[in-house]
């Protein structure tokens, strides 16, 4: 329901307008003076304010100024019987949506209200879309005809239309973010924003602000009101990447949003309601992580209503040829040149290689070969040095009963040893971010694992 505040010191006009708007299905609150309306805005979310321009003590323009100083961007429509060019200009400079001259009829004010509400929704969606462009981590297609990929596409088609939370598990570089995008695009929320937030990239305080937003002055540096990802993604989907790294204190707040669909901005006691589908990704075995006490079990169950496992590239070698063709075609289209040829012997080497960095590592290697191939062909001699010295982490075979967490730890530690403790080279070889590697090493060090110096 659209909630509207009506501010007018004339009882008859205020009550008449409130009655009209209530009959139109709007939620209406009335105030006889601007001071009371300003206090209400601090405590209660409104979608629109309709205010008289001429009022004692605080007029409509001054009220608008104070509301903007609070950091609120809600639209304000000013009513006046004495419209002048100067007052209209001043009101518009302060951010008034429009003004309407008394007397007016119900159709006129209702049309103006609809325009104001639509304008605010569009501005909110534009802000969300701008963050989407900056946040989305991957744009690859679901390439592959292996049995695993066919099953994965079928799973996505079934999961997409649901509003239930989904948990995507898989190694780094397998394309978990891309899977989340595919789920969103196949859902009934596809016309709404899909926002992405890397939970490992921010401190606890910043992460809370990014998730739930903050009020102006809530903490040092909060110089204006900021909406969080949950609020911006309202009606759409929120992708929480590396969900395992979210601090335990915030896990309780996240659980509440998932259960009750409500939250408060940092620095505010006002409870807000939101309709957001959450998709979480992790390169851990999150169940084992919860059993070790690092993650709430109740949150795990709430997130894993629809569990998805993305297979590593080494378990679907038959898809490597299709992926290579796709990456080469994309590079050719981007550069406006003919695709570089991948020799059969080269493809054979790629198919027999154990891809520790998964699809991300393959894509990076293909782009490197594209740039450096002088004769229009990608030969074995061209790629072998990279497989041996740069991208080749020690090969590990998946073993039944060997959990993902242990396999990951063993792989990272052997790769770190191979590069004599050089973390940047290790992260690059594994196809993960340097910060992600640092967080893993710090956690294992805290658990008593002896690490090599970087």
Give the tens place of pLDDT for each residue, 6-58.
999 888 888 999 998 998 889 999 999 999 999 998 888 888 999 988 888 89
Q: What is the reported pLDDT for 218?
A: 85
Joined together, the tokens standing for residue 10 give: 């004339």
- Domain stops at, among 94, 125, 156: 125
User: 3-class DSSP state for residue 120?
Assistant: helix
Residue 161 belongs to a domain with what CATH number?
3.40.50.300
- 26 and 154 assigned to the same domain: no
- 286 and 363 assigned to the same domain: no
- Count Cβ atoms within 10 A of the Cβ of residue 452 and give its class: 0-12 exposed, 13-18 middle, 19 or more buried: middle
User: 3-class DSSP state for residue 65?
Assistant: helix
In a domain, 427, yes or no: no
In a domain, 402, yes or no: no
In a domain, 434, yes or no: no
In a domain, 421, yes or no: no
- 33 and 48 assigned to the same domain: yes
- 340 and 203 assigned to the same domain: no
- 153 and 259 assigned to the same domain: yes
DSSP code for 317: G
- Domain stops at, among 282, 309, 336: 309
* Positions in the chain short of pLDDT 50: 133-140, 389-402, 450-454
Closest CA to 428 of 400, 390, 382: 390
User: 3-class DSSP state for residue 138?
Assistant: coil
- Count Cβ atoms within 10 A of the Cβ of residue 138 and give its class: 0-12 exposed, 13-18 middle, 19 or more buried: middle
- 233 and 187 assigned to the same domain: yes
Residue 357 belongs to a domain with what CATH number?
1.10.8.60
Residue 21 belongs to a domain with what CATH number?
3.40.50.2300
Question: What Rg, from alpha-carbon coordinates, does the chain have?
Answer: 28
DSSP code for 44: S
- 86 and 180 assigned to the same domain: no
Q: What is the reported pLDDT for 429?
A: 74
- 173 and 33 assigned to the same domain: no
How far apart CA 213 and CA 82 sit, in angstroms, is 39
DSSP for 360-401, please give it.
HHHHHHHHHHHHH-SSSEE-HHHHHHHHHHTS-PPP----TT
How many domains does the chain divide into?
A: 3
Q: What is the reported pLDDT for 409?
A: 78
In a domain, 330, yes or no: yes
- 282 and 301 assigned to the same domain: yes
In a domain, 326, yes or no: yes
Taking each helix axis from N to C end, the angle separating 423-430 and 434-446, rounded to the nearest 10 degrees, works out to 110
In a domain, 450, yes or no: no
Q: What is the reported pLDDT for 427?
A: 80
* Cβ proximity of 237 and 192 under 8 Å: yes
- The structure tokens 């969900």 sit at 243
55, containing H or E segment: none
- 285 and 349 assigned to the same domain: no
- Domain stops at, among 101, 125, 149: 125
- 246 and 293 assigned to the same domain: yes
Closest CA to 342 of 359, 364, 325: 325
- Count Cβ atoms within 10 A of the Cβ of residue 352 and give its class: 0-12 exposed, 13-18 middle, 19 or more buried: exposed
Bridging pattern class, strands 306-309 and 166-169? parallel
How far apart CA 385 and CA 381 sit, in angstroms, is 7
Domain that holds residue 360: 313-389
How far apart CA 214 and CA 205 sit, in angstroms, is 11
How many residues does the structure list for the chain?
Answer: 454
In a domain, 70, yes or no: yes
- 74 and 121 assigned to the same domain: yes
């Amino acid at each position: 329901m659209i909630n509207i505040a009506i501010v007018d010191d004339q009882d008859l006009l205020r009550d008449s307008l409130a009655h009209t708007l209530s009959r139109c299905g709007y939620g209406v609150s009335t105030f006889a003076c601007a001071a009371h309306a300003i206090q209400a805005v601090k405590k209660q979310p409104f979608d629109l304010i309709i205010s008289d321009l001429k009022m004692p003590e605080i007029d409509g323009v001054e009220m608008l100024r104070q509301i903007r100083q609070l950091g609120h961007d809600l639209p304000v429509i000013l009513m006046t019987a004495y419209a002048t060019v100067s007052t209209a200009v001043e009101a518009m400079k302060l951010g008034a949506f429009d003004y309407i001259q008394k007397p007016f009829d119900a159709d006129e004010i209702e049309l103006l209200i609809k325009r104001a509400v639509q304008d605010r929704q569009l501005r909110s969606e534009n802000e969300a879309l701008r963050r989407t462009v900056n946040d989305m981590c991957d744009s690859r297609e679901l390439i592959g005809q292996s049995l695993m990929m066919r099953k994965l596409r079928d799973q996505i088609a079934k999961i997409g239309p649901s509003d239930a939370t989904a948990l995507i598990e898989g190694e780094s570089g397998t394309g978990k973010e891309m899977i989340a995008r595919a789920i969103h695009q196949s859902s009934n929320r596809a016309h709404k924003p899909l926002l992405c937030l890397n939970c490992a990239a921010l401190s606890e305080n910043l992460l809370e602000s990014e998730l739930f937003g903050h009020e102006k002055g809530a903490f040092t540096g909060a110089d204006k009101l900021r909406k969080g990802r949950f609020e911006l993604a309202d009606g759409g989907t929120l992708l929480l990447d590396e969900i395992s790294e979210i601090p335990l204190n915030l896990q309780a707040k996240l659980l509440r949003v998932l259960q009750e669909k409500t939250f408060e901005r940092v620095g505010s006691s006002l409870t807000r309601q939101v309709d957001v589908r959450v998709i979480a990704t992790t390169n851990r075995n999150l169940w084992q992580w919860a059993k070790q006490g690092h993650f709430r079990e109740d949150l795990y169950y709430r997130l894993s209503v629809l569990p998805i496992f993305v297979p590593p590239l080494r378990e679907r070698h038959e898809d490597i040829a299709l992926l290579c063709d796709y990456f080469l075609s994309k590079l050719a289209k981007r550069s406006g040149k003919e695709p570089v040829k991948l020799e059969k012997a080269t493809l054979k080497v790629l198919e027999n290689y154990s891809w520790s960095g998964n699809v991300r590592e393959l894509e990076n290697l293909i782009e490197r070969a594209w740039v450096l191939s002088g004769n229009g062909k990608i030969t074995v001699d061209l790629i072998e040095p990279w497989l041996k010295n740069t991208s080749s982490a020690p090969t590990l075979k998946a073993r039944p009963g060997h959990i993902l967490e242990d396999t990951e730890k063993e792989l990272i530690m052997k790769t770190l040893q191979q590069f004599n403790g050089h973390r940047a080279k290790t992260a690059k070889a594994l196809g993960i971010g340097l910060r992600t590697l640092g967080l893993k090493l710090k956690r294992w060090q805290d658990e008593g694992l002896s690490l090599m110096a970087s």
